[in-house]
Structure 1
Amino acid sequence: MNTKFLFTIAAGLVIGASKISAQATDCATTASIAYEHAKVKNYQAAEEPLWKVRKECPTYSVATYQFGAKLLKAKLKKASAGKKTAIAKEIITLEKERFQYFPGKTKIGDMHSNIGQLMFDNKIGTKDAQFAEFHKAYTEDKKNFNGAKKLYTYFSLFVDLHDEGKKELQEVFDLYDDVTEKIEEEESSKAKTISELTEKEESGTALTSKEKRKLKNAGINLAAFSKVKAGINQKLGARADCTNLIPLYNGQFEAKKEDIKWIKSASRRLYAKECTDDPLFFKLVESQHKLEPSAKTAYYLGILALKDKKTSVALKYFNQAAEMEEKGSEKAKVYFRIGEVLKKQGSKGKARGYYRKALKYKPSMGTAYLRIASMVASSANACGTDVFSKRAVYWLAEGYARRAGKVDPSLKSTANKTAANYKAKAPSKTDIFNNPGVTSVSIGCWIGETVRVPKL
């Protein structure tokens, strides 16, 4: 082969490699400049080099899209009403580019729910198009469909489409059940964090700065999910009242009485909306018990036994239901119901045991803490041995009440008022001063707990 020709090929390869190397170096340098500015939120300085990397080196790093999203969201927040739509569309384009170049580092649930929310907030596209983004996120990657606001928007759009005649009422109920379950899972997770860290703090152990942030964030997120759950119930509104449910399910009963999934859903919804006096509810429970005896069947039979004032029979069914139930939040509801029955009977110690079981499976059930607080406070005279210890019982009651507000933001106002009432009945600073050396008080009878004396 001609030596001159070989030399030309070799030279071309060297030049090509040099160009590739130079481009890679240029990408790295430009990206470094852009990322450093973006890290400290100096988006004005970061914008030009960041978009240069995005255009010329789209596969360089997923950080380009992460910082790009932060930059555009900051812009969107400050933009005038007339400019928001254009910026929102650019964020959507950026989300899609990230998926194009980094599919393995992009979560379907996160991406499409983000796009759906941007479209909804900025009036981009039709309701059907907005809903389609949320629906893809939820059905294909529910685990990564996160955010209280996005869950509400998804459900709200579905209900709106039902009102336009595009979705069936039963479909609305099915989605409501599914979304509510996801919200309750999120609530339980956040409440568990709050409960554990609060208990640690109340024991006298100082929280680390990381734990304090974790506690604060859990509280913020729990409050958001609590509001969204209330909003979803409000959105569903009269569509799920007995006046709509009973004729709907009566009309479907004959055709679906052998469909266990439908039977379960119908009986659960009638119970939730207190439509249990209608004969349809009894028909549904009987059919469910015949087709598939379960935790729900036992629970409903317990409810019916309570209506007939057969308390011992009801407790038997409720305990069976709790043992058979696999879902934590549902198991918690059964244990709470048992606690209510026992509390009404005056069995405070046993009732507390069941309220605690409920909290174990659903840490966000603040009402259980309020029930325990109430029983503790009502036993002050019976469980204290002298004036100081009797009044000290209210410190314990106060602690339970405050915990209720921490794990369930919807109860915060009630919990704080209740706690303040108990605190006013507890020993005063003068009482503490007159009992020097007393750092804790052991409370007897059914309570059997020790409460720390607050520091002056």
Structure 2
Amino acid sequence: MKARITLVLVALFLSVNIGFAQQDEECMTNLMIFSDYVKSKKYDEAYEPWMKVRNKCPKFNYAIYGYGEKILDHKIKNSSGADKAAFVNDKMKLLDEGLANFPNKYEKGEVLNDKGLLMYDNKKELGVSNQEIYDMFDRAYKEDLKNFKNPKGLYVYFSTAVDLYNEGKLPLQSVFDKYDDVSDKIGTEVEICTEELNKLVQKEEAGQTLTSKEEKYRKYYTNYLENYEKIGGSIDSKLGQLANCENLIPLYKKDFETYKNDAVWLKRAVSRMYNKECTDDPLYIELVKAYDATAPSADTKYFVATILFKQNKDSEAVNYLKQAFDLETDKYKKGRLAERIGGILKKKGRYSEARNYYRESLKLNPSNGRPHLNIAAMYAASANDCGADSFDKRAVFWYAAQEARKAGKVDATLTKVANQTAASYEGNAPTKGDIFTKGNAGQTIKIGCWINGSVVVPSL
């Protein structure tokens, strides 16, 4: 036994970074004991030797904190009442100790986020208030925004702001401000993930194979994008009726004179009025004009276009959309803008123009599959107008299905919906019996009108 421990000690000595100034034989022995227990998932047995090292040699090895979190997670999961509260509080203390003793392994924003989630998930046991939970996340936001990016943490941060409003402890404007803060942060993180994912998609499209490391990164970025999309919808739901036109219009009317030259306030007000469909009120036009006069940009031209469309000045509106697209210089934002413009034109039935913008969006953000689905939907909607006879018209659905499947190939978050959509379109296409009767299996059908494409009839 002594010989085995000696060999393990030598191996650990060579493989881990030890603070030699605090080197201690007892700490080394206990480090190896609790490390072996953790690796075997014997967390209860690991607890005592781990605590000895933690208390005597807090800077001895990072495993004290990395493995310590696993040990305390086990204790929290398998305890209740006062015992559970004690373990939760100890994990929060451990996170602080890890940040202090191994600052190269921890980020302040992540630590504060993790502490906030511990408080939120164990609110009853700890007896903490919404204010205390909010304040912890607020520290993460204010003290280390860069590393405060956990999807759940961002949601809880905003959610507790709404709860505080309902308790009468936070004004409505502050809730809106926090919604914008969290939404902006989500947007930033989505942009970062998308840009990295674009590089991997472009590599694949160039015929190159991703390395195993790149495959892991692709999965990582895809998962984060899925989570950000989910919490984006969740914070909208949480905001709910607070951001209806009945609340927004009087609030912005009251503050307009104060903030009519504040570009950030105007942008947020216009965006919320637009997203909540409060655009029929004259205040919306007033806000857009002030925003465009204060800080003309791609955003302002886009919103001016929305007003012109409402006034049935479609040609002028389309010109403003073009200005918006031309003014945007950020590649990611330009891609998102092109998608939004495509959406407006699609609703107006201007399919050819919409497709052009959707394709621009795909060039700029190739890992975003939504434009493919929207293009496919326009193809399907045009089936009756783009064929010489019934067979050719229904053949357009094959073309739509091909486009829909592209969404799943470039965007893993859309694989399921892309396949379901494509299958739905194929269900409207000619049957095998139709193909047999027509006698054109394997032939290419030209699709006219604005689509201007072709599709091969499946073989029987």
Among 394, 399, 411, the alignment partner of 1:393 is 399
Residue of structure 2 equivalent to 1:284: 287
In 2: Cα distance, 1:41 partner to 1:139 partner: 37
Q: Residues 119-198 of structure 1: matches in 2 within 5 Å? A: 119-123=119-123, 124=126, 125-190=128-193
1:149 shift after superposition = 1.1
The one-letter code matched in structure 1 to 2:94 is L
Residue of structure 1 equivalent to 2:43: 43
Tell me which moved more, 112-121 or 377-386: 377-386
Tell me which moved more, 368-377 or 302-311: 368-377
Q: 1:104 to 1:200 in 2, by over 3 A?
A: closer
Instruction: Find the structure with the greater CA-based Rg.
Output: 1
Residue of structure 2 equivalent to 1:11: none
| 2:335–2:360 CA contact under 8 A, matched in 1 | yes
| 1:222–1:408 CA contact under 8 A, matched in 2 | no
The one-letter code matched in structure 2 to 1:174 is D
The one-letter code matched in structure 2 to 1:229 is G
| 2:401–2:423 CA contact under 8 A, matched in 1 | no
Residue of structure 2 equivalent to 1:243: 246
Higher relative contact order (CA 8 A, sep 6+): 1
Unaligned runs of at least 5 residues, structure 1: 1-19
| 2:334–2:364 CA contact under 8 A, matched in 1 | yes
Instruction: Give the CA RMSD over aligned residues.
Output: 4.1
In 2: Cα distance, 1:260 partner to 1:341 partner: 24
| 1:23-42 per-position Cα deviation (integer Å, ceiling 9, x unaligned) | 53443343233334324434
1:92 shift after superposition = 0.7
Q: 1:400 to 1:441 in 2, by over 3 A?
A: farther
| 1:84-126 per-position Cα deviation (integer Å, ceiling 9, x unaligned) | 3222111111112112322343211001111111112111332
| 1:394–1:425 CA contact under 8 A, matched in 2 | no
| 1:224-256 per-position Cα deviation (integer Å, ceiling 9, x unaligned) | 322211211111111111101111111112233
Tell me which moved more, 72-81 or 134-143: 72-81
> Is the counterpart of residue 94 in structure 1 residue 63 in structure 2?
no
1:260 shift after superposition = 3.2
SS at match of 1:184: helix
1:134 shift after superposition = 0.8
The one-letter code matched in structure 1 to 2:303 is Y
Q: 1:375 to 1:98 in 2, by over 3 A?
A: same
Tell me which moved more, 157-166 or 112-121: 157-166
In 2: Cα distance, 1:195 partner to 1:453 partner: 33
- % of aligned pairs identical? 39
In 1: Cα distance, 2:244 partner to 2:218 partner: 38
> Is the counterpart of residue 354 in structure 1 residue 351 in structure 2?
no
The one-letter code matched in structure 1 to 2:399 is V
The one-letter code matched in structure 2 to 1:84 is K
Q: 1:276 to 1:398 in 2, by over 3 A?
A: closer
In 2: Cα distance, 1:185 partner to 1:235 partner: 21
| 1:311-353 per-position Cα deviation (integer Å, ceiling 9, x unaligned) | 2211111121223335666544532343245446766454223
TM-score, normalization by structure 1: 0.79
1:407 shift after superposition = 3.4
Q: 1:399 to 1:427 in 2, by over 3 A?
A: farther
SS at match of 2:72: helix
Q: How many residues align?
A: 431
| 1:401–1:419 CA contact under 8 A, matched in 2 | no
| 1:401-449 per-position Cα deviation (integer Å, ceiling 9, x unaligned) | 546984359xx65x554222124356889989x999x7x9897767688
In 2: Cα distance, 1:429 partner to 1:31 partner: 69
Tell me which moved more, 78-87 or 206-215: 206-215
| 1:260–1:291 CA contact under 8 A, matched in 2 | yes
Q: Residues 268-279 of structure 1: matches in 2 within 5 Å? A: 268-279=271-282
1:217 shift after superposition = 4.3
Residue of structure 2 equivalent to 1:372: 375
Q: 1:311 to 1:390 in 2, by over 3 A?
A: closer
Unaligned runs of at least 5 residues, structure 2: 1-19
| 1:373–1:401 CA contact under 8 A, matched in 2 | no
In 1: Cα distance, 2:271 partner to 2:74 partner: 45
SS at match of 2:137: helix
Residue of structure 2 equivalent to 1:110: 110
In 2: Cα distance, 1:392 partner to 1:203 partner: 26
In 2: Cα distance, 1:384 partner to 1:41 partner: 68
Q: 1:219 to 1:84 in 2, by over 3 A?
A: farther
In 2: Cα distance, 1:384 partner to 1:369 partner: 25
SS at match of 2:118: helix
1:159 shift after superposition = 1.8
In 2: Cα distance, 1:233 partner to 1:325 partner: 26
Residue of structure 2 equivalent to 1:224: 227
